[in-house]
Amino acid sequence: MKKILPLLALTLVIAACNSGKDKYPEMAQSMCDCFNKIKDSLPPSAMKLFEKAAVAPSAKETYESGAKELSPEDLQRMMSALLQVSKPGSAVSDCLSEMDKKYKTADSQQEATRKMVDALKGSTGCELMVTMMRMQVEKGK
């Protein structure tokens, strides 16, 4: 599980370095759409975990404790799906590469990540990405 956070951090670096200052809501939605390409590969229990962690006071604590409660099979399916984020040629990786070409910003990775999380507050359907981004923000505090 700890191997996933560095992979997602890399994804966030790509997005943060290539986002538009006034386009955070658009960029956040685009990134959400990229992450949602792995939703069908996630077991329902993992999706419930991401939904819970996305709105929890601490996404990281909620995610980590919830992941321990997943069955070994569901945990394996979740980890396999999340690894698609960094796999060259995967739908998620290709989608993020397209984002890389589209968005630019001078903000730091941490600041861009925070702005994207803020842009998606209250929205539904982006819980996977919001959880991962919130864990990145919490890690940087």
Number of structural domains in the chain: 1
Contact call for residues 15 and 97 (beta carbons, < 8 A): no
Q: Give the separation between CA 70 and CA 46, rounded to whole angstroms.
A: 8
Q: Give the separation between CA 40 and CA 122, rounded to whole angstroms.
A: 22
Contact call for residues 27 and 15 (beta carbons, < 8 A): yes
pTM above 0.95, yes or no: no
What local confidence, expressed as pLDDT, does residue 22 receive? 65
| Per-residue pLDDT tens digits for 26-71 | 989 999 999 999 999 999 999 999 999 999 999 999 999 999 999 9
Residue span of the structural domain in which 18 resides? 4-140
Residue 49 CA from chain centroid, whole number = 13
Task: Write out the two tokens for 57.
Answer: 């006071």
